[in-house]
Structures are given as structure tokens and as C-alpha cells.
Amino acid sequence: MKNSLIFLAVLTFSQFLIAQVGIGTVNPEARLDIVSTNSGILIPRVALTSITDASTVINPTGGTIAASTLVYNDSTGGLTPAGYYYWQNSQWNQLASTSQKQVHFGKILVSASGVINVSGVGFSPKSVEFVAINRVQDFNTGAYRANGNNTNDIRMAGGMTTGYAQINGTSIDQQVISNGFSGSSINNIGTYSSISHCIAAFFVNNNGEPIHDDGSPNSGSDSQNGLISASLQSFDDDGFTLNFDNFLAGSTTSNRTNQMVIIYKAYR
């Protein structure tokens, strides 16, 4: 008889564990139903160090963090801004709110090849758009023109570029298209596209041929082939990282310097 009572108690308790749970109500309408008119619930508050931090929050069973795990990041561990984050695709993703910035406009001035870390976005972007016009030399130059007519080098090379980069699962998709023309002639133009870059500037002479890396139309090493090109390497906690693998710097003599102002739009 005693064993029967114990078995009945265990069975009843097991059924209770898998039944709906009501807090503040005796008639729960979901697996967990909390009813209150003057208080809320507190989600665990943690200090995440980065969007890929997989050690601050643990799975009690010893496995990897379960998808949809929700925490409140207090921003004291390195990951900003503070807010609710959920785990998905091996990273923390912030829940959007009306008080959070969703889009950020910014600008970059580039004058040489190499890696550029863009920060100050205010969030970890998921996609970025880029647009630029060849040889815009600074953020506030006012009117600018080549130093002389019919020079047939980088000083007379114009063009425009547009591109994007976006997260696609665990990889980054990017695309750029650009054109180039010469102010010394309207006989021909050049175009360029790439699925491995998001920024590019194409410089051509009056015959539509790529200008060489010494700023002239018919000499130089051709190693840069009239191009500025960059790929987006990573989306970071507060911005993104670009790698300019090519940059047509032009000659150090006369007025053949070459800088490029890039305007970007980053999306949360």
C-alpha cells in the first residue's frame, strides 16, 4: 500500500511538471502564464564581451548555447550597447527597439592600400552600402579640377562606384560596379565589376585603357591596372573592416595625388 501511494505521488508530480504553469493565475493558458498588474519579469543580466562570446553564458547541460537563449547585456563586459540579446547562428543578436539607431551614415577618406577599421557606427551592422566618385580629394575641398587640360593621366580620370556587402549566414556577400572615363576625350569609357569587392574605382585614359600605377597611360608596372579596390573583411561590434588590396596612388610629382572619399550607409 505504501509503495502504491509513493508511485501515485510520483506520477502526479511528473504530470504536474509537464503541465501548464501559472503564476498569479490558477488557469494558465500557456506552458508558462504569468499574470501581474504591477510587476514584470527579470531576464538574466550578464556582461557579454563580444557578439561571439560563448563563455559568459553557459548551457547547464554542458553543450553549446541553445539557439534563442535570451539575456540582458549590461554593456560592462565590452559588447555595446546594452539591451536584450538572443543567441542564433553562433553569435549574439540584439533585439531591436524604437530607441535604437537602425541606420548609420558615415564617410571614409582613403589614400593608400591596406586595412581600414571603421568604427563609431553604434551597432554591429548586418549590411553596408557604399558609393564614391573618383578623385574627390577630401571631405571639404569645395570645387576641384585637374591641374591642366588634356593631361591624359590620373588628373583627368573620372568615374563613380557603388557597391554593397551583407551577411549571408556565416559568409559575406559583396558586389561592386564602377565606370571610368577620361576628361581628355569622350571616345571611350571603361567599366568594372567584382563579386569579391564592395568598393572599386576604375581609372582610364582617353582610349578607355587602364591608367598605369605611375599615373601615366603608357608606362608603369600595370600591377594595379588603374584600380582602387576593397573587400569587406568582417562586420565588427561597432563597425566593419575593409581591406584595400589595390590603390592607384598616382605620381608623387605635380598634382597627381589621389585620395577617395567614400560615403557609406550601415544597417543594423
Q: Look at residue 203 in the predicted model and tell me its pLDDT.
A: 87
Rounded Cα–Cα distance for residues 198 and 125 (Å):
15
Q: Which residues contact 10 (CB under 8 A, 6 or more apart)?
A: none
Provide the pLDDT for residue 251: 57
3-class DSSP state of 268: coil
Q: How far is CA 73 from CA 44, 57, 92, in A?
A: 9, 11, 10
What DSSP character marks residue 31? Answer: S
What dihedral angle (degrees, nearest 10) is formed by the CA atoms of 225, 129, 132, 121?
A: -110
Nearest CA among 178, 164, 196 for reference residue 265: 164
227: cell is 584600380
Determine the pLDDT at residue 15. Answer: 47
54 φ/ψ sector (left φ>0, alpha ψ -120 to 50, else beta):
alpha
Radius of gyration of the chain (CA): 29
Could you say which DSSP state residue 210 is in?
B
Instruction: List the strands of the sheet with 199-202, edge to edge.
Output: 114-118, 239-246, 227-236, 199-202
d(CA 65, CA 86): 10
The one-digit pLDDT tens for each residue of the chain (268 residues) are 555 545 444 444 444 455 788 888 888 889 888 999 898 899 999 999 998 999 999 999 988 999 999 999 999 999 888 889 999 989 898 887 777 788 999 999 998 899 999 999 988 899 999 999 988 888 887 777 766 676 666 777 889 999 999 999 889 999 999 998 887 776 778 889 999 999 999 888 777 778 765 555 555 555 557 889 999 999 998 899 999 998 887 655 555 568 899 999 999 8
Exposure on the CB side of residue 42, measured as CA atoms within 13 A: 4
DSSP-derived pairing of the beta strands 171-182 and 91-94: unpaired
